[in-house]
Amino acid sequence: MRLPLLRPADLTAEQQSLHQAFDAMVEGGEEYTGFEVRDADGAYVGPWGVMLHFPEMGRALGRFVDLAQQLPGLSERARQVVILTVGARFNVAYEMYAHARLASRAGLRADQIAALCAGGRPAGLAEDEVLAVDVATALTEGGPLPGPLYDHVVERLGQDALDAIVFVTVHYLALGTILNAYDVKAPAAS
């Protein structure tokens, strides 16, 4: 990583406040088990390790993330499909590392996860998951979301699902950009 990892003892008061918020989030959710969130010295890695360098931005992004994750209409499997689609599109190592584990936990098969991480649309996905891949792919290619795709998703899944796909895509585009800017790699041994 291009920024140094910040050990808890080295944090400013502003960073400590954000670190405590990260602690509450990570320790309060099963979602953060199964992949490295902190190193052996207790320093946050991944997006948390970067955001501690920018506490005000970290808090703002955290609020957006909370809101995006609460949007109705998207199954956990479809949400993971969106995240892996975005991660693969921009080769975001940590995003694919962490969310491959979460996708497996959500019930996606290893071959489906591998295909998503390679930028593909795997066989055997449910309709909402296929449409999630299609929307996330279209949004990351630039330009407006094609009207027929927009209409089809709203007709088949509802406006809430389309909105959730859009904002989960935005969330992981932001995190992916941050992770790639600071060259955050996936942990070597996992």
pLDDT digits (tens, 9 = 90+) for 102-133: 999 999 999 999 999 999 999 999 999 999 99
Residue 190 has pLDDT above 90, yes or no: no
Residue 134 has pLDDT above 50, yes or no: yes
Is the Cβ–Cβ distance between 187 and 36 less than 8 Å? yes
Closest-CA residue to 2 (of 188, 154, 185)? 185
Residue 42 has pLDDT above 50, yes or no: yes
Burial degree of 18 (CB within 10 A; 0-12, 13-18, 19+): buried
The rounded mean pLDDT for the chain is 95
Alpha helices in the chain (DSSP H): 13-27, 46-51, 55-69, 76-89, 93-105, 110-117, 127-140, 147-157, 159-181
Residues 166-172: what's their mean pLDDT? 97
At 11 the three-state DSSP class reads: coil
Distance, CA of 62 to CA of 103 (rounded, Å) = 21
